[in-house]
Amino acid sequence: MATPALSANTDSSSLPPEAKQGNVNFVTGGIGKDEAAVFQRAAKNFPLELEFVMKDKPKDAFLADVNVTIRNHFGEMVLDITSQGPFLLATLPPGKYDVTADIAGSIKHKVVSINTHEYEMTVLEWEKSDNLNSNQ
């Protein structure tokens, strides 16, 4: 499987193995402070970073087990997975994509644009009033 090149200063050894679905390479995870830090450092080496968060006080909570679908501008499914943590890093070709994230029946949509040699970071946020448990 082809993987994107990671810069020498990125500690990619702690990233979970990349997976591939169709033409999309991706990795999910980031549970725990150390693994989250590894994902945050590695994110800029992928065209797309998605982060799943529940807004809460005094501190926001990361979410896992989020069902994620990504469709290209033709409406074709390019990725359909369940995240293993609060981060999803994906290698997508340039274009516009519709991202749908579903946790416990609460659905969020975002349109993202992937541009050549650029990095797109998108946070999908749920409110505590969405009746989500941050220990998902």
Residue 56 domain-assigned (yes or no): yes
Length of the chain in residues, anyone?
136
What's the alpha-carbon Rg for the chain, to the nearest Å? 14
Would you state the pLDDT for residue 57? 82
Residues 114-133 pLDDT 10s: 999 899 999 999 988 766 55
Residue 87 domain-assigned (yes or no): yes
Element (H, E) at 38: helix 33-42
Residue 39 domain-assigned (yes or no): yes
Rounded to two decimals, the pTM is: 0.83
Name residue, tokens 């975002």: 110
DSSP 3-state of 93: coil
Q: Who has greater pLDDT, 4 or 86?
A: 86
**Segments forming the whole domain that contains residue 41:** 15-117
Contact 28, 62 (CB under 8 A): no
Contact 61, 54 (CB under 8 A): yes
* Cis check: omega of the bond before 47, within 30 degrees of 0: no
Residue 125 domain-assigned (yes or no): no
Q: Could you give the number of structural domains in the chain?
A: 1
Contact 121, 49 (CB under 8 A): yes
For residue 71, what is the domain's CATH number?
2.60.40
Would you state the pLDDT for residue 2? 35
Q: Who has greater pLDDT, 56 or 101?
A: 101
* Cis check: omega of the bond before 4, within 30 degrees of 0: no
Residue 122 domain-assigned (yes or no): no
Would you state the pLDDT for residue 11? 43
Residue 5 domain-assigned (yes or no): no
